[in-house]
């Protein structure tokens, strides 16, 4: 009998080579040491997918994992984590999605699904409470994510079925393919859809009707209500609720933090044509939300007329408005929405896809690429026909799209002739829509993140625009004013380390980083500790929770270390460290990476030479097996 | 413009735009007026809901307000520095997350 509430207490092991599904008991020690979600997947990856296993080999694992708060009453508890070795970076990979898939999996009675092997023919996994089986997906293969979801819903005659599907990009091995989850939420980064496609798994469909029990219902209910009320009282709540992440477009621009023309600039002269107000005036249908979310940053949009009339989609995010807009020098809002919908349908990460095209456009500008190499496509800035055409070519791996489908790092190496200096990636992952020159903590976060360039691991919102009240509340008066100043480097290594550890926990319990933990900066360590304690019945003082976050993050670093990652990989493209920003509040700024890295390693108690955790640190965290594996 | 007055352009963003009921406006202030004075001016003009979003209860500039003067971020402790004729101010709620 599994001793903790909040969990289903069991998970599914799916061997696609053998065509078998097994029920596995959740290990209580795994729950104590890693909570679930991100931690659960990290531990399994560490134990079972070593450097000898290619990310797309049958022996690789694809892990869908929820956490003990997922599906419960605490705010925004609708997140599910997908973990695998990344085919884009070759190191630790994960992606996280909102919507309703995660809670539905819990309602069906499962904490996680671990997929291994490769099916000889396309299949999908059908989970209807405790009835679980692999079904033929031959007729679904080749179809878009939305077509696949609709077909399964029709076949089940159940509007409440929740799916995780890949599109043609995942089937075709595009290295940044996404998994789309009901309703149009993306587990976008690191190529998790590529891993799914390599296994011949077209979809996972789930319907659950069971309860989730918590250990102390009265206390848990009290906490959940308190957190909901605090979120609603947060002064920034109305702004986030009204506009979602597109609401920051206009603000990032004068900060010089809105990447434009492949990070050549940090401001876009036509930003008013692609900001939240323009988006809502043009296409807003209604406000929506994910499971259990009082904020409702999600929206439904539809284009009423024009060349892409009828294009309808949810979840148009800041990232996509940038990647498909300013990044490629386009203020064509309709084309951005069309590109977004195309990526969702094809199962492409909008960030990596948009960045790859922006990179190619800069190579065209610099005359490094020519018509012979692009198959006759002139990659001019702002040409949205080229943008849309290239997205389709990437998804189908056609012509020049086939090269970009390998990811920016690999494409740059193949092209050569100096292309590498324009490839804006870290550890092989394309940099999202932040310019570290305009927010120094983000520069460090991009460099250190365990999954490659990434804003969401450390997610240092405190100094993004300046949250002095939260900085004071979280870190004390002595950290001000620098902690809340985007251009200061003082205290930022601590901000990044704390965010990485807290983020690892947030992604392990199953709540949303945009739902109060990072965005709004309302929910913090003590709140999650109290909720985990009330939900699970574990004794969870804040100190212990922090240790779990550190353990997860350190183990991911160890995973990368055995894959050859060292301090030399904690780098940024030269553009950020040597070319002063020309834009807005960041004009004249570079990222002073080295001094921040030095302090970061000290705070982490990592070896500053290798960038690896020390034996003493790993011993403190109970990671003795990593000491042995790293030969420390 | 009288030599005793300055004209300042104010641009509202996000939820502030909805509350102010406009995207932008030009306001006229006495020479020597500060950013704090500009905030008081528009707070008085557009009602208590906007004023509540611009100022903390004790009268300081609300910590959740992000202000740019001529596209440069203004620390709140510089809210009493004088503005110049032709300045452009931008007001945002302190949203983050991308």
Are A242 and B68 an interchain contact pair (Cβ–Cβ within 8 Å)? no
ipTM above 0.90, yes or no: yes
Angle between helices A542-562 and A37-48 (to 10 degrees): 30
Q: Distance, in angstroms, between A597 CA and closest chain B CA?
A: 22
Could you give the percent of chain A with pLDDT greater than 70?
100
Nearest-by-CA chain B residue for A435: B98
Q: Distance, in angstroms, between B3 CA and closest chain A CA?
A: 30
In CATH, the number for domain A10-207 is: 3.60.9.10
pLDDT given at position A1: 85
d(CA B89, CA B98): 23
Among the listed residues A589, A488, A587, A518, the one whose alpha carbon sits nearest the alpha carbon of residue A254: A587
State the pTM of this model.
0.97
Q: Distance, in angstroms, between A463 CA and closest chain B CA?
A: 9
pLDDT given at position B97: 84
Contact A230, A19 (CB under 8 A): no
pLDDT tens digits for range A55-65:
999 999 999 99
Structural domain contains residue B38: yes
Which whole number is the average pLDDT over A579-589? 97
Are A243 and B15 an interchain contact pair (Cβ–Cβ within 8 Å)? yes
CB under 8 Å to A27, separation ≥6 — which residues?
A: none
Among the listed residues A183, A204, A25, the one whose alpha carbon sits nearest the alpha carbon of residue A109: A25
Are B97 and A518 an interchain contact pair (Cβ–Cβ within 8 Å)? yes
pLDDT given at position A568: 98
**Contact list, B63 vs chain A (CB under 8 Å):** 467-469
Q: What is the CATH number of the domain that holds B68?
A: 3.10.20.30
Q: Distance, in angstroms, between A584 CA and closest chain B CA?
A: 6
Structural domain span for residue B84: 5-93
Q: Residue B8: is its pLDDT beyond 70?
A: yes
Q: Write down the domain spans for chain A.
A: 10-207, 235-430, 440-521+541-629
Q: Residue A44: is its pLDDT beyond 80?
A: yes
Per-residue b or e along A200-213, where b marks 16 or more CB atoms closer than 10 Å to that residue's CB:
bbbbbbbbbeeebe
| A206 backbone dihedrals φ, ψ, rounded to 5° | -135, 135
Cα angle value A206/A212/A217 (rounded, 5°): 160
Q: Residue B2: is its pLDDT beyond 90?
A: no
Contact A47, A40 (CB under 8 A): no
Are B98 and A518 an interchain contact pair (Cβ–Cβ within 8 Å)? no
Q: Distance, in angstroms, between B12 CA and closest chain A CA?
A: 10
Are A248 and B97 an interchain contact pair (Cβ–Cβ within 8 Å)? yes
Nearest-by-CA chain A residue for B66: A465
Class of domain A440-521+541-629: mainly alpha
Per-residue b or e along A228-266, where b marks 16 or more CB atoms closer than 10 Å to that residue's CB:
bebbeebbbbbbbbbbbbbbbbbbbbbbbbbbbbbbbbb
pLDDT tens digits for range A188-235:
999 999 999 999 999 999 999 999 999 999 999 999 999 999 999 999
Contact A435, A259 (CB under 8 A): yes
Q: Give the count of domains, chain B.
A: 1
Nearest to A467 among B14, B23, B94 (CB): B94
Per-residue pLDDT band at B1 (split at 50, 70, 90): low
Could you give the percent of chain A with pLDDT greater than 90?
99
- What three-state secondary structure class fits B34? strand
pLDDT tens digits for range A246-269:
999 999 999 999 999 999 999 999
Structure tokens at A265: 């600039």
Are A276 and B93 an interchain contact pair (Cβ–Cβ within 8 Å)? no
Q: Residue A339: is its pLDDT beyond 90?
A: yes
Mutate to test the interface with B, among A248, A432, A438, A442 (most CBs of B within 10 A): A248
Are B93 and A239 an interchain contact pair (Cβ–Cβ within 8 Å)? yes
Asked whether this chain's domains A10-207 and A235-430 adopt the same fold, the reply is: no
Chains A & B: contacts with CB separation below 8 Å:
93
Are B95 and A465 an interchain contact pair (Cβ–Cβ within 8 Å)? yes
d(CA A3, CA A595): 46
Nearest-by-CA chain B residue for A434: B98
Nearest-by-CA chain A residue for B68: A254
Structural domain contains residue B98: no
pLDDT tens digits for range A73-127:
999 999 999 999 999 999 999 999 999 999 999 999 999 999 999 999 999 999 9
Chain A residues with at least one Cβ partner in B under 8 Å: 235-236, 238-240, 242-243, 245, 247-248, 250-252, 254-255, 276-277, 317-319, 322, 432-434, 455, 459, 461, 464-469, 481, 485-486, 514, 518-519, 521, 584-585
Q: Positive or negative CA dihedral for A563, A564, A569, A570? A: positive
d(CA A486, CA A463): 5
Q: Residue A566: is its pLDDT beyond 80?
A: yes
Q: Distance, in angstroms, between A381 CA and closest chain B CA?
A: 24
- Report DSSP letters for A233-261, one per residue: HSTTHHHHHHH-GGGGHHHHHHHT-S-BT
Instruction: Give the mean pLDDT of chain A.
Output: 97
Among the listed residues A102, A134, A99, the one whose alpha carbon sits nearest the alpha carbon of residue A18: A134
pLDDT tens digits for range A20-31:
999 999 999 999
H helices present in A140-215, as ranges = 145-156, 168-171, 192-198
In CATH, the number for domain A235-430 is: 1.10.569.10
Chain B residues with at least one Cβ partner in A under 8 Å: 13-15, 17-18, 23, 53, 62-64, 66, 68, 71-73, 75-77, 90, 92-98
């Amino acid at each position: 009998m599994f001793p903790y509430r909040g969990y289903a207490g069991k998970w599914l092991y799916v061997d696609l080579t053998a065509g078998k599904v097994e029920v596995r008991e959740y290990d209580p020690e795994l729950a104590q040491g890693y909570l679930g979600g991100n931690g659960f997947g990290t531990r399994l990856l560490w134990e079972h997918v070593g450097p000898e296993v290619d990310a797309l080999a049958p022996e690789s694992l694809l892990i869908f994992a929820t956490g003990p708060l997922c599906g419960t009453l605490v705010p925004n508890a609708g997140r599910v984590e997908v973990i695998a070795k990344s085919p884009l970076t070759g190191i630790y990979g994960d992606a996280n999605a909102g919507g309703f898939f995660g809670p539905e999996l819990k309602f069906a009675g499962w904490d996680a699904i671990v997929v291994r092997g490769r099916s000889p023919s396309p299949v999908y996994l059908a989970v209807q409470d405790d009835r679980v089986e692999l079904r033929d997906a031959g007729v679904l293969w080749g179809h878009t994510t939305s077509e696949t979801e609709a077909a399964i819903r029709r076949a089940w005659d159940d509007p409440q079925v929740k799916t995780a599907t890949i599109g043609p990009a995942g089937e075709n091995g595009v290295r940044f393919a996404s998994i789309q989850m009901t309703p149009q939420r993306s587990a976008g980064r690191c190529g998790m859809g590529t891993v799914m496609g390599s296994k011949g798994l077209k979809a996972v469909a789930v319907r659950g009707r069971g309860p989730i029990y918590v250990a102390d219902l009265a206390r848990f209910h009290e906490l959940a209500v308190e957190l909901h009320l605090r979120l609603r009282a947060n002064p920034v709540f109305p702004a986030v609720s009204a506009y979602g992440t597109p609401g920051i477009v206009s603000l990032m621009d004068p900060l010089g933090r809105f990447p434009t023309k492949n990070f050549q600039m940090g401001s876009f002269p036509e930003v008013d044509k692609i900001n939240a107000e323009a988006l809502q005036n043009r296409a807003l249908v209604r406000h929506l939300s994910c499971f259990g979310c009082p904020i409702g940053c999600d929206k439904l949009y539809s284009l009423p007329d024009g060349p892409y009339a009828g294009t309808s989609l949810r979840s148009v995010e800041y990232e996509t408005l940038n990647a498909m807009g300013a990044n490629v020098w386009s203020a064509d809002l309709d084309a951005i929405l069309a590109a977004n919908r195309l990526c969702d349908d094809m199962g492409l990460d909008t960030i990596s896809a948009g960045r790859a095209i922006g990179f190619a456009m800069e190579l065209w500008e610099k005359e490094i690429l020519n018509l012979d190499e692009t198959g006759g496509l002139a990659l001019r800035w702002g040409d949205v026909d080229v943008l849309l055409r290239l997205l389709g070519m990437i998804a189908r791996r056609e012509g020049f799209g086939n090269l970009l489908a390998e990811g920016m790092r690999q494409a740059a190496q193949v092209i050569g002739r100096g292309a590498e200096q324009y490839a804006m990636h870290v550890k092989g992952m394309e940099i999202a829509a932040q310019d570290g020159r305009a927010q120094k903590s983000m520069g460090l976060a991009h460099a250190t993140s365990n999954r490659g360039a990434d804003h969401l691991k450390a997610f240092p919102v405190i100094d993004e625009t300046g949250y002095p009240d939260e900085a004071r509340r979280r870190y004390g008066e002595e950290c001000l004013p620098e902690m809340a100043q985007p251009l200061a480097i003082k205290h930022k290594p601590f901000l990044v380390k704390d965010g990485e550890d807290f983020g690892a926990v947030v992604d392990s319990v199953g709540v949303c980083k945009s739902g109060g933990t990072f965005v709004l900066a309302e929910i913090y360590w003590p709140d999650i500790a109290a909720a985990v304690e009330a939900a699970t019945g574990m004794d969870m003082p804040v100190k212990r929770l922090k240790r779990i976050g550190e353990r997860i993050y350190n183990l991911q670093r160890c995973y990368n270390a055995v894959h050859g990652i060292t301090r030399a990989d904690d780098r940024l493209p030269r553009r950020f460290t040597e070319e002063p920003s020309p834009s807005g509040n960041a004009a004249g700024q570079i990222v002073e990476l080295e001094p921040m890295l030095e302090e970061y390693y000290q705070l982490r108690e990592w070896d500053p030479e290798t960038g690896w955790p020390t034996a003493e640190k790993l011993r403190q965290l109970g990671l003795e097996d990593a000491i042995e594996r790293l030969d420390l | 413009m009288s030599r005793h007055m300055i004209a300042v352009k104010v641009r509202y963003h996000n939820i502030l735009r909805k509350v102010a009921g406009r995207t932008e406006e030009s306001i006229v202030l006495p020479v020597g007026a500060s950013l704090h004075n500009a905030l008081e001016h528009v707070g008085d003009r557009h009602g208590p809901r906007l004023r509540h979003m611009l100022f903390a209860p004790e009268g300081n500039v609300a910590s959740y307000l992000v202000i740019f003067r001529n596209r440069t971020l203004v620390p709140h402790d510089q809210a009493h520095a004088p503005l110049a004729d032709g300045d452009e101010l931008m007001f945002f709620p302190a949203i983050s997350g991308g």
